[in-house]
Chain A
Amino acid sequence: MAEQISPEQLKALQEKIKNMSPEELKEFQKKQCIFCQIIAGKVQSRKVYEDEKVIALLDINPANPGHVLLLTKEHYSIMPQIPDDEVSYVFMVSKALSNSMLRSIDAQGTNVIVANGIAAGQRAQHFMAHIIPRKENDGINFTLPQKAMEQNEVEAVGNKLIAALGGTAEKEEKSSIPSLKMQEPKKKESESKDIDLDDISKLLGVK
């Protein structure tokens, strides 16, 4: 990436990108994407979990030791591009990774963070969820500012969102998100079953 591109080359490249079909563009993005190369095994990484849909790596610039990046194997730039069932899957794995951190590296809590867009702090062109193990006084501060809204602004913003979500805020009898059966998934007996989740939540200070 350190090579200098001449203005002519840049122009030619821009022209090339402009004329690409969506499929070609995706393929092009994939070739440029460092995380796609990591997924393909062309660039070395420290994998902590992998299956057919997702891969979890240790961040080389961690907020805390054990900071994990969870990536979809498929190249998506931002979360809104990901199909529903894959979104579900990614965050079920996030939950499991968070759980693993509590049990293996003495995390006292975890943060799950996704940044969509540069304005939100996204740096790589590949969707990822950050899962950050936390300890008391670890020097990380994610306190969100609070900006009070006027009542009419609340109504206006809320109604815009409701309209964009394509419905009313009234309870929908049938969920607009299909394909989910409310069923307890089958659980595999975990070896570390001796730790009770209620104990963990007490440990984390939440009742």
Chain B
Amino acid sequence: MAARETCLVCQIVGNKIPSKKVYEDDVVMAVLDVNGANPGHCFIMPKNHYPIIEQVPDIEVGRLFQVSNKISSAIFESLGAQGTNIFVANGIPAGQTVAHFTINVIPRKENDGINLQWQPKQLSEEEMSTVELKLKEQTKNIGYFEKEEKKPRIYAPKPKMLSDEEEEYFSRQLRRLP
């Protein structure tokens, strides 16, 4: 894919651009942002090229955030941070600048000049209800991931179901028996 060759993050993953790696495994890589919001600001990214989170397979999403959590803990422990932010921008209107899904983990200190706050918007009860209903209509599709995978699977042969024709044939055969 052409996107991979021009993608800045893919070039970091492929070691074509030098970086300070802090973690790497078969699917995830984490590097220090040298122009970070605070010293210790890290990027966690999938090695495969996915522009947005919706394209990242569930299992990789899980792994990416586990690593982010570990890095967040390491920032608390080793850099004396008073807090951490996990920040994802998904899509250009959300502030995404590189077309490769990345998670930012940012060490925080009081009055460090970072602003991840928002001005609350006032919505009427009716507007809230409309949004709630629309979202619920979609979220009812959620819930297929992982759950089944965790349970041990039992490979019992399923009872064979017969189609109507077979059933008829079968019962006719049976009636022929003495």
Among A84, A104, A122, A177, point to the contact of B137 (Cβ < 8 A).
A104
User: How far apart sit A186 and B87, CA to CA, in the bound complex (Å)?
Assistant: 28
A175 touches B132 (CB 8 A): no
Q: Does B128 contact A (CB under 8 A)?
A: yes
Among A93, A147, A163, point to the contact of B78 (Cβ < 8 A).
A163
- B contact residues around A68 at 8 Å (CB): 135
- A contact residues around B90 at 8 Å (CB): 98, 109-112, 204
Q: Give residues 96-135 of B contacting A (CB, 8 Å).
A: 96, 99, 104, 106, 108-110, 112-121, 123, 127-129, 131-132, 134-135
- Tally of chain B residues near chain A (CB < 8 A): 98
- Known contacts A112-B87, A206-B99; is-contact A65 B69 (Cβ 8 Å): no
How many residue-residue contacts, CB under 8 A, span A and B? 338
Q: Which range holds the interface residue count of chain A? A: 35 or more
Majority SS at the chain B contact face: mixed
Of A11-19, A29-37, A45-53, the one contacting chain B is: A45-53
A180 touches B59 (CB 8 A): yes
Q: Does A7 contact B (CB under 8 A)?
A: no
Among A97, A108, A176, point to the contact of B142 (Cβ < 8 A).
A97
Among A129, A191, A201, point to the contact of B51 (Cβ < 8 A).
A201
Q: Does B14 contact A (CB under 8 A)?
A: no
Q: Give residues 127-183 of A contacting B (CB, 8 Å).
A: 129, 132, 134-136, 138-149, 153-155, 157-158, 160-165, 167, 169-172, 175-177, 180-183
- A contact residues around B173 at 8 Å (CB): none
A145 touches B37 (CB 8 A): yes
A115 touches B54 (CB 8 A): no
- B contact residues around A79 at 8 Å (CB): 69, 72, 84, 86
Interface residues of B (CB under 8 A from A): 3, 20-27, 32, 34-42, 51-59, 61-67, 69-79, 81-96, 99, 104, 106, 108-110, 112-121, 123, 127-129, 131-132, 134-139, 141-146, 148-149
